[in-house]
Amino acid sequence: MKRVMIIGQPGSGKSTLARALGEKTFLPVVHIDLIHWKSGWVEREPDEKSKMTLEVIARPTWIFEGGHSRTWPQRLDRADTLIWLDMPVGLRLRRVLWRTIKHYGKERPDLPDGCPEQFSAEFLSFIWRTRNTSRAKMRALYDGAPADKTKYHLNSPAAVRRFMDGLSQAVAIGNLGFPHR
């Protein structure tokens, strides 16, 4: 496990899982929202996002969470591990609402400076509108991943906990070859 690609729809827990994996494995974590947004909630141009994404995936190690599906094929080519967080839409909506309330007006570590958390009915609508189409794209990526990729399809918070427990045990016995800090 040297290059981990995490995909999932908004509110599925990508950023949280990436941070937790980074703490266990000491791999560098990259959040797509730091590439997607500039300060002030200004969206970067697609070509600039692609260039920045390709620069990240050229690195020797990473945990890269998030979208910009235009670069998924290249990301998957470089990844050795693919994790799909496939949570129910109701849970994801609740998580996004809770995150908004908890961090309202404050900046989160997975967003650029100058992007304080804010309520967005448009974002909630996007989550609802894309619940099936986005999931279908992720299913196709996951199902089409080459056999040499280690894949995890996690579809509940309990599945994520079991995955992390198993990873903790593997790291503890030195089974994954990560450096100890």
Q: How confident is the model at residue 180 (pLDDT cuts 50, 70, 90)?
A: very low
Amino acid residing at 113 = D
- Nearest CA among 12, 29, 31 for reference residue 20: 29
Residue 176 confidence (pLDDT): 59
Question: For the chain, what is the mean pLDDT?
Answer: 91
Instruction: Give me the mean pLDDT over the 77-87 stretch.
Output: 97
Structural domain spans, the chain:
3-172
Strand 29-31's sheet: what is its strand order?
29-31, 62-65, 3-8, 81-85, 150-154
| Per-residue model confidence as pLDDT tens digits over 49-66 | 999 999 999 999 999 999
Token pair of 87 as six digits? 């949570």
| Per-residue model confidence as pLDDT tens digits over 93-148 | 999 999 999 989 898 888 889 989 889 899 999 999 999 999 999 999 999 999 99
Domain over 3-172 is classified CATH 3.40.50.1360: no
Beta strand pairing call for 42-43 and 3-8: unpaired
